[in-house]
Amino acid sequence: MELGEQSSTELYENVTCPFCGILCDDLRIERTGDQLKVLNKNCGQSAAGFERVLPPAKPQVDGRDVSLEEAVKAAAGLIKKAQLPLYGGLGTDVDGIRAVLSLADRTGGVVDHALSEAQFRNFNVLQRSGWIMSTLTEARNRADLFVIVGTNVHKLHARFFERVVCPPSSMFEDPPAKRTVVFIGEGLDTSAAVGSRIADVVNLPCKQSQVTEVLLALRARINGMAVSPSEPEAPAKRTGILSTLLPHLRGTSAPPPEIAGIKLSEIDALAERCKNARYGVMVWAPPGLNFMHADLAVQAISDMVRDLNVTTRFAGLSLGGNEGAVTAAAVSGWQTGYPSRVSFASGAPDYDSYRFSIGRMLAANEGDLLVWIASISPTLVPPETRLPKIVLATPGFRSSQQPAVFIPVGTPGIDHAGLLVRCDNVVSLPLKNLGRSRLPRVADVLAAIQSAL
């Protein structure tokens, strides 16, 4: 690995951070030699990412140090022999994903991002019924009500509250109106909902697995429906969350005093807040909704937002998108028409959210080669598999199984310029080359491998 040789200090302004799907673009980074320092340390995730010291790393074949050219040749040989290569991880930028799709198309492979299981909680709803969504900028400047659904946003995206929920100014109002923040779910960090913009902070704690029940009850109350009592004495009759929450148009049953441990009066109060909001936003991150049938929670949000738009203005806002997950889905959508889990084995893009899940395929011993890409964070490691692996990763990557071929690559936004798509899917932001190292781009390595086939 060749690191930057400069010893003088250089300052970079308005740097975009690649380590979170929000892509904060106001960082000030100081570089001295090959060491970086974040000067505005509002986020531990960005500081850890930029300031991580790169360990020495060289291309390897079967654990033996080789030249980059030898590693590329060895990778091409493995891919050429494979009948069904699996292209996973996909922690890279726009050009990297384009190169993955090109190579998969050439070799009849399957493409799937490591974090797509969470993403499909969104995709399933979007494909079934569509939705009404906001953007980070719209929410920052227009919202007077934020409802945080089942997601520890402050942990996943440390600056979301600072930049979107609690900024002291607004594009359209001076002074800006105050806003209410509601948290649905237990154990959520509410500490960042502070400042001059915040009027009320409301906490409706419930178990994560019961978030959908609360959302369904909220939708029923927004639509003026009664909610039937639960049936704890007859668990054998239960068919799921709908057995405890049934919209009751005739209103002949007395409503239960609580839903998932939350007083019905509190749910009613939130329903009134939603109906009276000028611009309400329901916020969640797919990785935060980590429970069985979590796509039903996203469906409930989408349906409720649509209902509210009959009389007011309301929208959803999905976060997440770390490790380039949103970028991978966006580029795949542009080029194939499908967000992820695409197979080129038939000679044309073929989509199936179940069959082409690489996690499922590896567990079922399907495929005969795994090509894993993790250029953003060293923690994006593949599941254990019997398949030989080609790994393109940032130095410091550790896996319990030695890859057949390992090629160290640069991190977009640090070691080379690039583009990433923001979590709200409306803009791609430029990443700067901070000159930390001369490690190659994922896109260039994959192009070299494709040329060597």
Kindly state whether residues 425 and 445 are assigned to the same domain.
yes
Q: Tell me the sheet residues that pair with 182.
A: 147, 202
Kindly state whether residues 91 and 129 are assigned to the same domain.
no
Kindly state whether residues 123 and 271 are assigned to the same domain.
yes
Kindly state whether residues 335 and 200 are assigned to the same domain.
no
Q: Could you tell me if residue 14 is inside a domain?
A: no
Buried b (16+ CB within 10 A) or exposed e, 402-438: ebbbbbbbbbbbbbbebbbbbbbbeebbebbebbbbe
Q: Could you tell me if residue 140 is inside a domain?
A: yes
Q: At 42, phi and psi to the nearest 5?
A: -95, -5
Q: Residue 190, exposed/middle/buried by CB under 10 A (0-12, 13-18, 19+)?
A: middle
pLDDT tens digits for the chain (453 residues)?
Answer: 344 444 689 999 999 999 999 999 999 999 999 999 999 988 999 999 999 999 999 999 999 999 999 999 999 999 999 999 999 999 999 999 999 999 999 999 999 999 999 999 999 999 999 999 999 999 999 999 999 999 999 889 999 999 999 998 888 888 888 999 999 999 999 999 999 999 999 999 999 999 999 999 999 999 999 886 543 333 333 334 444 444 443 444 555 678 999 999 999 999 999 999 999 999 999 999 998 899 999 999 999 999 999 999 999 999 999 999 999 999 999 999 999 999 999 999 999 999 999 999 999 999 999 999 999 999 999 999 999 999 999 999 998 889 999 999 999 999 999 999 999 999 999 999 999 999 999 999 999 999 999
Structure tokens at 199: 């009027």
Determine the Cα–Cα distance for residues 263 and 66; give it in Å rounded to an integer: 65
What per-residue confidence (pLDDT) applies to 8? 84
Q: Could you tell me if residue 162 is inside a domain?
A: yes
The answer to whether 392 touches 446, Cβ cutoff 8 Å, is: yes
Kindly state whether residues 187 and 91 are assigned to the same domain.
no
What per-residue confidence (pLDDT) applies to 424? 95
Q: Could you tell me if residue 36 is inside a domain?
A: no
Kindly state whether residues 358 and 219 are assigned to the same domain.
no
State which residues form the domain around 372: 57-115+323-452
The answer to whether 419 touches 94, Cβ cutoff 8 Å, is: yes
Q: Could you tell me if residue 264 is inside a domain?
A: yes
Domain closes at, from 319, 346, 363: 319
What per-residue confidence (pLDDT) applies to 228? 60
The answer to whether 387 touches 404, Cβ cutoff 8 Å, is: no
Kindly state whether residues 444 and 329 are assigned to the same domain.
yes
Say which CATH number the domain at 424 has: 3.40.50.740
Q: At 28, phi and psi to the nearest 5?
A: -110, 120
Say which CATH number the domain at 148 has: 3.40.228.10
Domain closes at, from 319, 339, 365: 319
Determine the Cα–Cα distance for residues 412 and 405; give it in Å rounded to an integer: 21
Which DSSP helix (H) or strand (E) runs through 97? helix 94-107
What per-residue confidence (pLDDT) applies to 174? 81
What per-residue confidence (pLDDT) applies to 1? 38
Q: Could you tell me if residue 22 is inside a domain?
A: no
Domain closes at, from 258, 287, 319: 319
Kindly state whether residues 270 and 168 are assigned to the same domain.
yes
Kindly state whether residues 297 and 402 are assigned to the same domain.
no
Determine the Cα–Cα distance for residues 246 and 228; give it in Å rounded to an integer: 6
Kindly state whether residues 251 and 129 are assigned to the same domain.
yes
Kindly state whether residues 211 and 357 are assigned to the same domain.
no
Q: At 369, phi and psi to the nearest 5?
A: -160, 135
- Report strand pairing: 369-374 vs 85-91: parallel
What per-residue confidence (pLDDT) applies to 355? 97
Kindly state whether residues 157 and 290 are assigned to the same domain.
yes
Domain count, the chain: 2
Determine the Cα–Cα distance for residues 52 and 364; give it in Å rounded to an integer: 36
